[in-house]
Chain A
Amino acid sequence: MRSALTALILGTAVLSAAPAFSDAVKDGKRVYMTKTCMACHGRNGAKPISTYPALAGQNPAYLLTQLKAIRDGKRVGTVDPETGHTFVQGMADIMHLLSEDDLKNVVAYLAEQDPAKPEVLDPAPTEEEMAAAAKIYKKLGCRSCHGKEGDKPSNKAYPYIAGLDREYLIRAMTEIRDKTRTSGKAKMMFGTIKRADDDQIAAMATWLSQIDRNAE
């Protein structure tokens, strides 16, 4: 009798769990399309404009941390010389539109999307440049958190960095190295990235930007 009851309760719990997840993704898509995100981060989070990051297939825990940090003014970053505002200003200005549920749903949606295709660089980097960059990445110790090619974060809170916009990667690494970006787990990364000079950051950004997560 007891085990039958337990089975019934568990069965009901399982049945009610499944739709909730797909609802989050569906609701998340609606948030994504109508609460401004699509405008800058592109269709399905995979076609960002300018030097903004693709979000498709990103770890949801990481996305949530960044959303809150930008919303709460904890992630401010560098000023875009073209506009005189920080790169995140346009986003910070509209974060009041998103409820806590919106945030949870939109990251669930984004996590499910196929990663963006790498941008085409012109001129294309040489094989030597790519190999050299991979070496720097390995030597600094980036693998232990981001994976061999930035495509296998060791922790759900760490981001995938493979296939992101080259300029964005340069900016992110530089901001963390120079302590402009200290929100979330950036402080933990400081020790690793502080030994990279600008050329090494640019080289790694070039290499990472070309890695196609879809090819795996």
Chain B
Amino acid sequence: MKMKITSAVMATVLAFAAPVLAETATEGWNAAGGEQDEALTLIPDHENGIETYEVCSACHQLNGWGLPDGTFPQLAGQHVNVIIKQLADIRAQNRDNPTMYPFAKPSEIGGAQSIMDVATYISKLPMNPENGIGPGDNLELGEKLYKDNCVRCHGEAGEGSDEKFYPRIHGQHYNYLVRQFQWIRDGKRRNANPDMVKQISEFSDADMDAVLDYVSRLKPHPEMIGEPGWVNPDFDW
């Protein structure tokens, strides 16, 4: 029984790893391992996803919309693979996040199954219709920068790629995007894809503000967006 799971895990890891390695030669940034590998092979349980999510709601809110000031990102609709990978990286301290750290630990969140359950649950939540946006004073530059630099990985509409572990960035809070972009550019967010670090290394702060302002205004597909004031029916308080 154990051997069967191991080979399944290996197959899954290779299946996920191969396209990344082939296209961008970025060995190591998504080396995976541990809970990430295991989680990716498991079948999600909806009820356990709800139960696990309760603790996440304390910061990311019951609807998964985070806070518009960017302290906490909106997670709703994010790709399952992306959520699993970020949790694994925070756990392994490849990504520094003191507030999140306890919740990336299997001892607190439950093991790989809970990680898969909660990631799937989050990915299905309707997205924030009123995310924090930027000042709106340099959108022409923002659009140009986005089209020249970001489309290849994050997509025309900022939709990212589950398969490639590239996050969905449309509908995200502007201040959160700025903080992460800055940390990726300046090396503080160590689990970033090295190709991205290189791509944005020459961005000035003004460039950064412009392109992220543009991104914060990109809209997900209408079917993915929640109604303003939507209350998550899975919780009763």
Among A81-95, those with CB < 8 Å from B are: 83-85, 89-91, 93-94
Asked if B186 is at the interface (CB within 8 A of a chain A CB), the reply is no
Q: Could you tell me if B101 and A83 are in contact, using CB atoms closer than 8 angstroms? A: yes
Instruction: Write the chain B residue with the least CB distance to A96.
Output: B71
Contacts of B102 on A, CB cut-off 8 Å? 39-40, 49-50, 90
- Other-chain residue from A37, A85, A89, A93 in contact with B58 (beta carbon distance below 8 A): A37
- Other-chain residue from B67, B100, B101, B108 in contact with A97 (beta carbon distance below 8 A): B67
Q: Could you tell me if B108 and A50 are in contact, using CB atoms closer than 8 angstroms? A: yes
A33-B237, A50-B108, A89-B98 in contact; A39/B67 too (CB < 8 A)? no
Interface string of B38-69 (1 = CB under 8 A from A): 00000000000000000111110110000100
| B60 CB → nearest A CB, Å | 9
| A49 CB → nearest B CB, Å | 5
Q: Cα distance A136–B59 when bound, in Å? A: 41
Q: Cα distance A34–B61 when bound, in Å? A: 6
Contacts of B55 on A, CB cut-off 8 Å? 38-39
- Size category of the B interface is 10 to 19
Q: Cα distance A39–B56 when bound, in Å? A: 7
Instruction: Write the chain B residue with the least CB distance to A85.
Output: B98
Interface string of B217-237 (1 = CB under 8 A from A): 000000000000000000001
Asked if B103 is at the interface (CB within 8 A of a chain A CB), the reply is yes
Q: Could you tell me if B103 and A39 are in contact, using CB atoms closer than 8 angstroms? A: yes
Q: Could you tell me if B98 and A39 are in contact, using CB atoms closer than 8 angstroms? A: no
| B215 CB → nearest A CB, Å | 24
Contacts A/B (CB < 8 Å), 23 sampled? A33-B58, A34-B61, A34-B62, A35-B58, A36-B59, A37-B58, A38-B58, A39-B55, A39-B56, A39-B59, A40-B102, A50-B102, A50-B108, A83-B98, A85-B98, A89-B99, A90-B98, A90-B100, A90-B101, A91-B99, A94-B71, A94-B99, A96-B71
